[in-house]
Amino acid sequence: MTTPPPRSPDEGSALRLIAGLVFTIVAMATAVIGFSRLFTLLEAGGYGTPSMRTALVILGVAGACLATGIATLIWEISKRYEHR
- Output 45 or 64, whichever has higher pLDDT: 64
- Structural domain including 34 reads 14-80
pLDDT tens for 30-58 read 999 999 999 999 888 877 788 889 999 99
Amino acid at 37: R
The DSSP H or E segment spanning 58 is helix 50-80
What is the helix, strand, coil percentage profile of the chain, to 5?
75, 0, 25
> The whole model's pTM is what?
0.79
Is 1 a member of any domain? no
Domain count, the chain: 1
Is 8 a member of any domain? no
CB contact at 8 A, 70 and 24? yes
Is 3 a member of any domain? no
Average pLDDT, the chain: 88
CB contact at 8 A, 63 and 28? no
